[in-house]
Structure 1
Amino acid sequence: MTAVSAPTACATPLARVSGCDLQVPLVQGGSCTYANFDYAASAPALAAVTDRVQELLPFYASVHRGAGYASRVSTEAYEKARGSVERFVGADSDQVVVFTRNTTDSLNLLAGCVPGDTVVLDVEHHANLLPWNNCRVVEAADTVAETIRRLVAELCAKPAALLAVTGASNVTGEVLPIAELAELAHRCGARILVDGAQLAPHRRVNLAELGVDYLAFSGHKLYAPFGAGVLVGRRDWLDEAQPYLAGGGAVREVTLDETCWAPAPARHEAGSPNVLGVAALAAACDALAALDFDRVVDHERTLAARLADGLADIDGVHLLRLWSDAPDSVGIVTFTIDGFEPGQIAAFLSAEHGIGVRDGRFCAHPLLARIGHASGAVRASLGLGTGSDDVDRLIAAIRQLVDGEACWSYGKTEGLWNPLPETRGFTDQASGAAECV
């Protein structure tokens, strides 16, 4: 089906984000407004987030042990941020918020706390596939129903401490039935960890209602790209485990003979924390919590369907899916085109149309291999700053490529696809020497 006119609800973005008016050069000359379809990798900052960072920046100082006014302000901002995260994810009373660098950091932290085996699916992002000790991998089926049956069989066959699953696939956007998985895990004597990197920015998550024991997500995917992430979870494992980092702030008392470690969250937050990053993450949580998420979900689903339908109508374009019965999908549309390498497609979109997508294997090599695309694909991901005009630009650009109407030549240099010749400049912008416009 060819994409048709969108309803007013998706014509304009739902929120103002950084870079929304960014002008980028084109290889054929001139420039255009950048169309960002790479939200799943790193989302741009919400205006409320950049405003909060600018507000707090003059007060930036060491936290927890400073008597100065700026230190007190920074400490209060840092600790209040835990409350924002707790409210945003509906944390239960026995769950604690630990600040980290990103989702990968959170999952590696938890991996050192798990007192037993961890069960995962073979379709996980590397961050939720590689860190676990005593890891047992279950092969996903072509349906969610059969995949769940296989997980239950594995959990019942041999005791496991933890089931670690993605909330939404970073390759296809498909969402697993988390509440059902949590109930099954608990019935089998295991706890459940949800990698919420792709889920948290797009869907309401309530840990108490879902029955989820641990959740990890990143600020840079939650419209707060300032280097902070979070692990929310039950306190007992976190209190009993060895500190993630040994150092100042993680202790109650130190002598040359003995160390008394603090409980979580301080136990796993040694060193000077990323105060501004944490404040940015909290601001994003507060801003997203204030949105009408029914409207957010409707906006995203409408745009994703518009994009998927428009691409499917082009000869040679193939959309990637994991399951035939996934209950929901976030705004990710991943595809291949006959006769074109993923990197070639991405280079064309950027160079001639000012469109940013992601190409490759998305840190999910086993997943791409099992669905028959071991060499990679192209991922277009949507967010709060996406409008229907952006979607239509992407569809039109792909149609132009397939119709043989690219106006530039492309080739590989050092293994990467680039326009030949490259006429756009990057050095001034990357170094900060360019004048802001």
Structure 2
Amino acid sequence: MPLTPVLTARFAEPRSWTLETYERLDGYRALRQALTMAPDEVVALVKDSGLRGRGGAGFPTGMKWSFIPQPKPGETPTGPAAMPKYLVVNADEGEPGTCKDVPLMMADPHSLVEGVIISAYAVRCSFAVIYVRGEAVHAHRRVVAAVQEAYAAGYLGTDVLGSGYDLELVVHAGAGAYICGEETALLDSLEGYRGQPRLKPPFPAVAGLYGGPTVINNVETLATVPYVIRGGADWFKTMGPEKSPGPKIYSLSGRVVRPGQYEAPMGTTMRELLEMAGGVRPGHELKFWTPGGSSTPYFTAEHLDVPLDFDSVAAAGSMLGTTALMVFDETDSIVEATLRFTEFYAHESCGKCTPCREGTYWLVQILERLVHGNGRAADLDLLTDTCDNILGRSFCALGDGATSCIASSLKYFKDDYVALLPPEEQARLGRSLRLEPVGAAAS
């Protein structure tokens, strides 16, 4: 059954990134419609649609907007309600394997700009920032050009479309730190400080950018908002499961015939996405894959029919994350892949908290010892113990993400680790530590 594209509908159009193409294909109609509604009505519509954040956590978007303190009618605002409100777009796409936001900004940047304007209007914000990853030079240029076109057409600036609403939108390029994908580290970077996570609470909705109430949303989330406004909550819920509705861009990479971005409703299975991508490369079999990037626990062939939505993936023992589906076959070493991911996290750790700074360093040392055939029998337990000392003890999710691939690889493929040990260390382990096949253990 062919799928009708929503988020990627304009991608194949000639010069799809221009305002002319965007307006010709219903661009900025949703903004005009939103400006006829009260801000609270826009928030309620997005909340009713069930749209959840596409940046990884899956938090309900409308609910996040409703957390922004607003002045009460007839009362003089005080505290956070009296402060300027801010909207920040997290376009710092740095999760290994993730490639959904950059193509969207390249092919259809005006959908993001329109989503930003509608969202800012909904939370009564007059200043917004799009924080783009520094290495994404071409995407940054496309977004800057789209913002300039929007200003010239009256969609940004003073008195947007004669509505009396004012909005200034700035595009900022980061310096390429993975940690700045964490929302509070991103805020510190925007303010000119070194990007490091803040201790929460207070949360950004109360004390965010410059200490004011701040909404932080992902690119794909905001690019979805115009479709919610135009189509309505009921239409949006026709795609995907009840608790995770809407369209989604899935990034498939690795050992597939046609890697790339595939749009499908939330809840589509990996088996269905592999069919769209031509399957695993000929002559090979799927060994393991990531449902949401390197910071999510691995899945295996037994998980091919798990619906790829937030709740179903969590129930199966992983996280949907950024829907970065990296596919590995039987020729790939899971230990070497895990080492590569762990090296990334050790390099990108901001160093603020000891468990992540020290723990990721030692995880790399242990994995390198194993990969080079110099491991010890005790290293398998040492890996688990080190992960336990990082998990839940770091300022942000980087530490937790660094342990995900290690813990899940030991869960499903411990024999692969054992096979890398010298013969005398394998003998020392003894039969009691050998894993049964995954299928037998599960039954």
Tell me if TM exceeds 0.5. Answer: no
TM-score w.r.t. structure 1 length?
0.27
Instruction: Name the structure where strand makes up a greater proportion of residues.
Output: 1
Give the TM-score taking structure 2 as reference length. 0.26
Bigger helix fraction = 2
